[in-house]
Amino acid sequence: MENFRNVIYQLISDKIGVDKTVLTDSTDFYDDLGVDSLDFIELMADIEVSLGIVIEEEVYEKLKTVGTLIKQVEKKLKARMNQLPV
């Protein structure tokens, strides 16, 4: 499941136009990357489609850094895995 981190880094790199090697958990979407709200919403849509999850829009405002986004995605992926039949 750790591979999702690479997917997120690549999607951020593609959407925002930054090299993924500069991304860390403490990278701030707004202050460090200059992301605007439309870019962020589009990024979230790409992540949701790529990973098959849904992150509620009311959570978006809490996702200020790459690390907080990764934690939220991990939470959603774990929840999805727990719902799959064994």
How many angstroms separate the CA atoms of 64 and 3, rounded? 21
pLDDT of residue 49: 96
Please give the Cα distance from 5 to 70 (Å, whole number): 7
Strand partners, 65: 28
In DSSP notation, 23-43 reads --TT-BTTTTT---HHHHHHH
pLDDT at position 84 = 61
Pick 81 or 59 by higher pLDDT. Answer: 59
pLDDT of residue 85: 58
CA 36, 37, 38, 42 torsion-angle sign: positive
What pLDDT is attached to residue 2?
Answer: 60
Going by CATH, does the domain composed of 3-77 fall within 1.10.1200.10?
Answer: yes
Closest to 15 measured CA to CA, from 39, 41, 32: 39
pLDDT digits (tens, 9 = 90+) for 15-58: 999 999 999 999 999 999 999 999 999 999 999 999 999 999 99
